[in-house]
Amino acid sequence: MPDIIDDITSLKKQKNATILAHYYQDSEIQELADFTGDSLKLARAATRVDTDVIVFCGVHFMAETAKMLNPEKRVLLPDLQAGCSLAESCTASELARYQQMLREKGHRFQTVTYINSSAAVKALSDWVVTSGNAEEVVRRIPPEEEILFVPDRHLGGYLEDVTGRKMILWDGACMVHEIFSVRDLLDMKRKHPQARTIAHPECPANIREHSDFIGGTEGMLRFVGGFSAPAEFIVATEVNMLWQLKSRYPQHSYHPVPGITCACNKCPHMARNTLEKLRDCLLYERPEITWQPEFERARVVLQRSLLN
Ligand code: 13P
């Protein structure tokens, strides 16, 4: 292990690279990264990087976003197959057809797209949001306009709850957050009656309704950071988030909510990035995210949505 970490550290210097890692990456990758964050923080951090190369330890849409916001940088992703069930649930052709059908029926709407989507889908959107800014963006849209929210129906449902705004929801879901077991969550709450339950807004309503706090990964860190005396938290999000919570706030105890078929809920796409692949991608400078024609339009939407 130490050898590979030394290799990565020296390759990083040699190649003038910065490593960004999402909180859902394995702990050894988060530990090595120059910046860790949620989707919003990492997209913004990518625009402030002063090295020639960005290695994005996350999933494909995140690296693609970093490339769109920094066309002049080389953006590497340790495993190009690191995808996202949400992004897969909404293709650009399906979205274009649906938008066309709504227009023909006389709907006047803006398309608000979760960042967990392809560049081609972002290019068809008015706004791109993350769990960190979605509520603020939705509140800014004039009430006379309808909202088409894609692709996460659970995040969309949560936004409807907090803003009171009905939206047209795409039928996508995150494979990690969709399968938390409500029965296990209720058992855990009985076993740990003092614990506060924190849940990501990608969770279905039946998990959110039993939660004391709902927020993205950065929001969770802020919430937990508000408790100084030792406390207990039941956590409904990807299990690697617990490492980040424990390392920042070790005085507390954390219990992951199990999935329906697994003891803890891990994103198989995020898990594709390993230390070996991180080392190799620095060494060979690939896989690389290359510029695509749809990036230009998507970039305008991203800049308007995330950087203003
Ligand atoms: P945040 O990064 O906004 O917490 O969302 C998590 C996620 O969807 C990663 O794919």
Same domain, 78 and 49: yes
Measured in Å, residue 169 CA sits from the centre of ligand 1 at 19
| Weakest mean pLDDT among 59-68, 259-268, 283-292 | 259-268
Is the pLDDT reported for residue 180 higher than 80?
A: yes
Same domain, 78 and 93: no
Measured in Å, residue 65 CA sits from the centre of ligand 1 at 13
Q: Which domain holds residue 59?
A: 2-83+269-291
Is the pLDDT reported for residue 35 higher than 70?
A: yes
Mean per-residue pLDDT for 146-173? 98
- pLDDT, tens digit, 9 for 90 and up, residues 42-67: 999 999 999 999 999 999 999 999 99
- Ligand 1 atom with minimal separation from the 130 CA: 3
Q: Cβ < 6 Å from ligand 1: which residues?
A: 24, 38-39, 84, 116, 130-132, 202, 216-217
Q: How many domains does the chain have?
A: 3
* pTM metric for this prediction: 0.96
Could you tell me the CATH number of the domain that includes residue 242?
3.40.50.10800
Same domain, 182 and 231: yes
Q: What percent of the chain has pLDDT over 90?
A: 96
Closest residue CA from atom 10 of ligand 1: 116
Question: Which two three-digit tokens encode residue 21?
Answer: 């890692």
Same domain, 94 and 58: no
Tell me the pLDDT band of 263, cut-offs 50, 70 and 90.
low
Closest residue CA from atom 9 of ligand 1: 39
Q: Note the pLDDT of residue 1.
A: 64
Q: Note the pLDDT of residue 232.
A: 98
- Ligand 1 atom with minimal separation from the 218 CA: 4
